[in-house]
Amino acid sequence: MWRRWMIALALAVSVPALAPALAQAQSWPSKPVRIIVPVTAGSATDVTARLIADHLSQQLGQPFVVENRTGAGGTTGMGYVAKSVEPDGYTILVHSAAFVIQPATFPNLGYDSGKDFAGVTLLGNVPLVMIASPAKYKTLKDLVTVAKSKPNAVNYATVGYGAAAHLTSERLRLAAGFEAQQIPFRGAPEAINEVLAQRVDFFFSPTLAAVPLVRDGKLVALAVSSTKRALSLPEVPTTVEAGYLNSDYNFWIGMWVPVKTPREIIDRLYAETHKVLQLKSVQDKLFALGSEPANMTPAEFDAFTQSEIALNSALVKAAGIKPNQ
């Protein structure tokens, strides 16, 4: 009897406490929702956010408005979501794998990527393909052989110090055991042009930009950085398949909210976003951007985010990449 009485008392206390949160989740959203994208309009991250936003608006009957808050390598927009908004489900962050790189490359962020955000879901994987001039290399093994025989004679392009292409290249370089010089460019078009001109040995490019040039024979795809082969280049091996263990590096796009956002709202946002990602029309448009389907529950995405932060921190240290000041 005592045990039953204690259970009844616990239920009597907990149910009223849960009621406001449940009611809040059921009524959400009751006003427009902002999606903060901390990179420029037109990027794969931005276009993905806008595609998801359009469908969420249709499903939930409220506008989901994308707002680009750029600056400081994406940290301006992240800091805004982490510290300057109410955790009520009306401000969402959509960002790339830069989310997990920045804790290692920006020492004074003013927020903690691993503690100030709650994951909603992974929106897509964006494989990077290692491209080179076919006049210089035929396989990844060819490039590594040259790099080992002529230390520091090989160089590679990036789209900025500490960016994904930089860390991808360094992970491969460390795994394969060769030296190479980084040459940063403003964007992928400039980097690709330098590879075409044979002034740069290789570049880890988004597949969208590289595939047409590979198909035309102007570039050779030596490998893809992702854990699995790219759907758009199924004949191209991963760097691990090419013989270099612990060389894989995944680039992806995800969704987060401030960490104190009610769990019921996070769960509903995940369910509605997952519904969007199951639409064939959405999958086709994402594939056209070079993005491949992915899905993680909020708990899985939180765990994934933490593991990726740790991986990038270790990689930055091992590669001797100095943090931005």
**Cα–Cα distance for residue pair 312/100, rounded to 1 Å:** 7
Per-residue pLDDT averaged across 37-48, rounded?
91
Per-residue pLDDT averaged across 255-277, rounded?
98
- Of residues 4 and 319, more confidence is placed in 319
Element (H, E) at 211: helix 207-215
pLDDT at 20: 56
pLDDT at 10: 58
**All structural domains of the chain with their residue ranges:** 29-125+251-319, 128-224
Does 29-125+251-319 match 128-224 in CATH topology?
yes
Asked: is 29-125+251-319 a CATH 3.40.190.150 domain? The reply is yes
Per-residue pLDDT averaged across 225-231, rounded?
95
**Cα–Cα distance for residue pair 147/152, rounded to 1 Å:** 7
- Of residues 108 and 301, more confidence is placed in 301
Determine contact, residues 290/251, Cβ cutoff 8 Å: no
pLDDT above 90 (res 72): no
List pLDDT tens digits, range 155-193. Answer: 999 998 889 999 999 999 999 999 999 999 988 999 999
Q: pLDDT category, 107, cuts 50, 70, 90?
A: confident
**Cα–Cα distance for residue pair 241/267, rounded to 1 Å:** 37
Mean pLDDT (the chain) is 92
Query: Residue 291: what residue type?
Result: S
Q: pLDDT category, 138, cuts 50, 70, 90?
A: very high
Sort 274 into a burial class: Cβ within 10 Å, 0-12 / 13-18 / 19+: middle
pLDDT at 42: 87
Q: Which has the minimum average pLDDT: 132-136, 159-163, 178-182, 239-243?
A: 159-163
Q: What is the 3-state secondary structure (H, E, C) of 229-279?
A: CCCCCCCCCECCCCCCCCCCCCCEEEEEEECCCCHHHHHHHHHHHHHHHCC
Determine contact, residues 324/161, Cβ cutoff 8 Å: yes
Per-residue pLDDT averaged across 287-304, rounded?
94
**Cα–Cα distance for residue pair 22/25, rounded to 1 Å:** 5
Q: Can you give the pTM of this predicted structure?
A: 0.88
Exposure string for 205-244, b = 16+ CB within 10 A, e = fewer: bbbbbbbebbeeeebbbbbbbbeebbebbeebbbbbebeb
Determine contact, residues 185/157, Cβ cutoff 8 Å: yes
In the chain, the percentage of residues whose pLDDT exceeds 90 is 81
In the chain, the percentage of residues whose pLDDT exceeds 70 is 92
The token pair at 3 is 């045990």
Report the SS3 class of residue 71.
coil
pLDDT at 43: 86
* Angle subtended at Cα 99 by Cα 97 and Cα 105, rounded to the nearest 5 degrees: 105
* Helix boundaries (H) for 28-138: 44-60, 75-83, 98-105
pLDDT above 80 (res 11): no
pLDDT at 204: 97
List pLDDT tens digits, range 188-214. Answer: 999 999 999 999 999 999 998 999 999
Where does 128-224 sit in CATH, by number?
3.40.190.10
Q: Is 39 left (phi over 0), alpha (psi -120 to 50) or beta?
A: beta
**Cα–Cα distance for residue pair 66/15, rounded to 1 Å:** 36
Enter the DSSP assignment of 292: B
pLDDT at 186: 86
